[in-house]
Amino acid sequence: MSLEVETPIDALLDLMRRLPPQNVQQNLDKLVQLAPEDAEELVSSVDVPLRIAKCKQTGLPYLCCDYNKDGDSYRSPHSNEYDPPLPDGTFPSAKLRKLEVSANEAFDTYREMYFEGGISSVYLWDTDPGAFAGVVLFKKLIDQPSCDSWDSIHVFEALEKGRMANYKLTSTVMLTISVSGPTEGSVSLSGSMTRQQEQDLPIASIQTHIANTGRMIEDMELKMRNQLQDVYFGKTRDVVGELRSAVGDEEEKRRRDLAKELQGRFGKRST
């Protein structure tokens, strides 16, 4: 990796980019112990699989992350209350809370259409006048036959500029897939991928923000799903093929010779 590593926090983040994603939570906990002075920055910069909590008021599940956390409490998107209770906690303004309620409904529909299960949560917070930020979370777990999971975290900033708004989106998907059995032993693929996107889109009313961020997130998830499929089940398999040749050296040589011969013929014809 070509990133410059010069300070302890760079080194901690570099370690998290190298250590097995299968153990991300345990390794993060250990690094926090090892470097308590950088713990806060480390924890806020490293994505871990989302934790599920149950809303005390509505009984509905919701997702926990750094953005609905205040002290040791998490805010439910359903009730807008903290658990454990935190009356002095940070809340979105009344106007933004209204948008947050609508956004939770809209992305819940999206979740049902794409994930056919799982959990979604949206949290919004005020930043500067004419601007706000938010996070859209999805989590789907399948326990059987193996423990597979998808966690996506979409953090965005929205800045209104007249009839347009500028959106900066950072999306991370964490994906774990595994199989095991007597003939294949255990096979585990796990990891995360982060992508960014910036776009200017027209706005008619405050509600337009939901449609705008919705389309951006929908496009981003489609793109990332394809990239994840390519890396997990294509590139990784190809690397395994580089480590051990399934066909053996003689067949590899025969294929090389054939490729050379075809190239030669093609070369002649095209001149």
Partner 1 sequence: MSLSKAEKVTLASSFVLQAPPGEVNDVLSDLRLVLADDDALEAGVTHALEEYNAEQLVAVDVPGQSYKMVLSPAGRIQSEEGTRYLDPRNATSYVVDPITLNVSSPEPHPIPPSLSTFGDALQKALDGYLTRHFVPQPKAGQADPALGDAACAVFPPLVGSDEEAGALGSKVWTMEVVSSRYKPTNYWSGRWRAHWEVEPDKLEVRGDIAVDVHYYEQGNVQLHTKYTPHIALPSASVTAEQILQLVFDEEARYHAKLTESFESMRDGGFRGLRRVLPVTRGKMDWDKVLGYKLGQELAGTRSPPVAS
Residues of this chain, 42-71, that bind partner 1 according to CB under 8 A: none
Give buried/exposed letters for 202-220 (b at 16+ CB in 10 A, else e).
ebeeeeebbebbbebbeeb
Exactly one of 80, 166, 188, 197 binds partner 1 (CB under 8 A); that residue is: 188
Exactly one of 41, 148, 157, 160 binds partner 1 (CB under 8 A); that residue is: 148
Q: Does 116 bind partner 1 (CB under 8 A)?
A: yes
Tell me whether residue 128 or residue 250 sits nearer to partner 1 (CB atom): 250
Residue range at the interface with partner 1 (CB under 8 A); choices 60-68, 108-116, 121-129, 158-166: 108-116
Residue range at the interface with partner 1 (CB under 8 A); choices 83-91, 128-136, 156-164, 213-221: 213-221
Exactly one of 12, 53, 119, 122 binds partner 1 (CB under 8 A); that residue is: 12
134: left (phi over 0), alpha (psi -120 to 50) or beta: beta
Q: Does 7 bind partner 1 (CB under 8 A)?
A: yes
Q: Does 189 bind partner 1 (CB under 8 A)?
A: yes
Tell me whether residue 64 or residue 99 sits nearer to partner 1 (CB atom): 99
Is the N-terminal amide bond of 182 cis, ω within 30° of 0? no
Structure tokens at 49: 């699989």
Task: Report in angstroms how near the CB of residue 214 gets to partner 1 at its nearest.
Answer: 4
The two counts, helices (H) then strands (E), for the chain are: 7, 10
Residue range at the interface with partner 1 (CB under 8 A); choices 49-57, 65-73, 79-87, 223-231: 223-231
Strands (E) in 82-212, as ranges, are 82-83, 119-126, 131-142, 148-161, 164-181, 185-202
Mode of pairing for the β-strands spanning 148-161 and 119-126: unpaired
